[in-house]
Amino acid sequence: MSRSIDRDQKRFNEIVRGRVRKNLRKYVTHGEMIGRKGRELVSIPVPNIDIPHFQHGQKGSGGVAQGDGEVGQPIGKGQDEADGQGQAGNEPGKHIREVEITLDELADMLSAELELPNIEPKGKDTVKSRKDRYSSIRQTGPDSLRHFKRTFKRALKRQISTGSYNPSDPRVIIQRDDERFRSWKTIEEPQANAAIIYMMDVSGSMTDEQKEIVRIESFWIDTWLKKQYDGVERRYIIHDAVAREVDEETFYRTRESGGTRISSAYRGAAKIIERDFPPSDWNIYCFHFSDGDNWGEDSETCLDILRSGLLPISNLFCYGQVESPYGSGDFIRDLNRIQDEHENLILSEIENKDAIYDSIKDFLGTGR
């Protein structure tokens, strides 16, 4: 039995999700969610879900309570109240309601908003699960599944072919044989795994702000890919003039200086793939973030490794150039030269935090 409160709760959820979707760009760029796992609930502030009333502001407000304490002793923090005292304005109010939502759901919204296509993984043929989908048609079934349009068409066809259809009295009479019903097909879903290799330039020009961008972007890439694959493995490489495989923690913490030799990272990536992820079984994703400042002749080496080693075996190779106050940022131009020949090479320039959202679309919008 459905209860009326379920209807109200469902409606509330719809409203919440609608508002979240509207402000998604803000939430995506917000660093707070990072480090959380997929199904975990995150609490996010959603504006304007409360019903506004005429009410007093905080200023001049107060109350009465009981307990010990001296006059002047703080007893509780006020709410942030940014309501633009004294100014005229058209901006809507900001009354906030905290709502809980899972990261999976946020990732779903993200993909709907960015129109991210679902990835079609390559992988083992081993059957993992069977699902029933209503995607076929049968001649018998319950009335609730009757496919009206098809039934009607069948009846019309039959009447025309038997000559019992009269255009001036266009009545279609459905007989038992005309009826068609929706039916399900059992779909077998193969298991597929993905490996993600994150590479980052940690030369002195990558400041904390740039790393924050990488961190946020990687987080959403992770969250998204986890939804697409049954199993996701991650590896991290940092590099300056030489490359090192590190754990996630170190990846985001390390700060070094010295020269930059990007090819060292690409070699490292190829090695890891060879060691852990045979391309026949794994969907491989490489993400490389740098400010684009590379050692002169090294760029040619990079292109070679990409062309002969990484691009042929990767689903995607994504290069994100994070704008930095230092450095030439030339590397993206070098990569640009070979981009036309390789569909799975994606380049994205990430100017600042606000650009993360669009950059995610650049990377994942290909459906590979």
Partner 1 sequence: MPISTQRPLPPEIKAIQDDLEAKAAEYGLDFFETIFEMVDYEEMSMLAAYGGFPLRYPHWRFGAQYDELMKSYSYGLSKIYEMVINTDPCYAYLLTANELLDQKLVIAHVYGHCDFFKNNAWFSQTNRRMLDQMANHAARINRYVDRFGYERVEEFIDACLSVEDLIDPHSMFIKRPGENGRVDQPTGNESTSDGGTRFPSKGYMDSFINPPDVLAAEKESQRQDAEQKEKSRSFPEHPQRDVLQFILQNGALNDWQHDILSIIRDEAYYFAPQGMTKIMNEGWASYWHTTIMTQHALTDAEIVSYADHHSGTVATQPNRLNPYKLGLELLRDIEERWDKGQFGSEWDNCDDLHKKATWDRQLGLGREKIFEVRRIHNDTTFIDTFLTPEFCAKHKMFSFAYNDSSEYYEIASREFAQIKQQLLHSLTNHGRPFIYVIDGNYRNRGELFLEHQYAGSPLKLDYARDTLINLEKLWRRPVHIATVIDETPSVISWDGRSHEIQPRRKAS
State the DSSP code for 146: B
Stretch that binds partner 1, among 73-81, 220-228, 298-306, 350-358 (CB under 8 A): 73-81
Closest separation in Å from C-beta 105 to partner 1:
15
336: tokens are 């640009």
Contact between 39 and partner 1 per CB under 8 A: no
Contact between 347 and partner 1 per CB under 8 A: no
Contact, 239 vs 264, CB < 8 A?
yes
Q: State the burial class of residue 87 (Cβ atoms within 10 Å of its Cβ: 0-12, 13-18, 19+).
A: exposed
Distance in angstroms (rounded) separating the CA atoms of residues 175 and 198? 62
Pick 95 or 307: Cβ nearer partner 1: 95
Which one of residues 1, 2, 39, 62 is an interface residue with partner 1 (CB under 8 A)? 62
Distance in angstroms (rounded) separating the CA atoms of residues 188 and 199? 35
Pick 79 or 144: Cβ nearer partner 1: 79
Stretch that binds partner 1, among 53-61, 156-164, 241-249, 295-303 (CB under 8 A): 53-61
Closest separation in Å from C-beta 86 to partner 1:
5
Closest separation in Å from C-beta 16 to partner 1:
8
Torsion region of 92: left, alpha or beta (phi above 0 gives left; psi -120 to 50 gives alpha): beta
Pick 80 or 340: Cβ nearer partner 1: 80
Contact between 49 and partner 1 per CB under 8 A: yes
Closest separation in Å from C-beta 38 to partner 1:
20
Size of the site for partner 1 (CB under 8 A): 56
Contact, 348 vs 322, CB < 8 A?
no
Distance in angstroms (rounded) separating the CA atoms of residues 122 and 112? 23
Closest separation in Å from C-beta 25 to partner 1:
22
Closest separation in Å from C-beta 21 to partner 1:
16
Centroid of chain to Cα 189: 22
Pick 48 or 183: Cβ nearer partner 1: 48
State the DSSP code for 294: -
Which one of residues 67, 142, 163, 170 is an interface residue with partner 1 (CB under 8 A)? 67
| Ranges assigned E (strand) in 116-275 | 127-138, 181-190, 193-201, 231-239, 243-246
Contact between 1 and partner 1 per CB under 8 A: no
Pick 4 or 162: Cβ nearer partner 1: 4
Torsion region of 258: left, alpha or beta (phi above 0 gives left; psi -120 to 50 gives alpha): left
Contact between 19 and partner 1 per CB under 8 A: no
Contact between 170 and partner 1 per CB under 8 A: no
Three-state SS sequence of 210-232 = HHHHHHHHHHHHHHHHHHHCCEE
Distance in angstroms (rounded) separating the CA atoms of residues 117 and 115? 6
Contact between 56 and partner 1 per CB under 8 A: yes
Pick 82 or 176: Cβ nearer partner 1: 82
Q: Site mask, partner 1, residues 75-94, x = CB under 8 A?
A: xxxx--x-xxxxxxxx-xxx
Distance in angstroms (rounded) separating the CA atoms of residues 271 and 5? 57
Closest separation in Å from C-beta 291 to partner 1:
39
Residues 300-339 close enough to bind partner 1 by CB under 8 A: none
Distance in angstroms (rounded) separating the CA atoms of residues 339 and 333? 10
**Site residues (CB under 8 A) for partner 1?**
3-5, 7-13, 15, 48-49, 51-78, 81, 83-90, 92-95, 97, 100
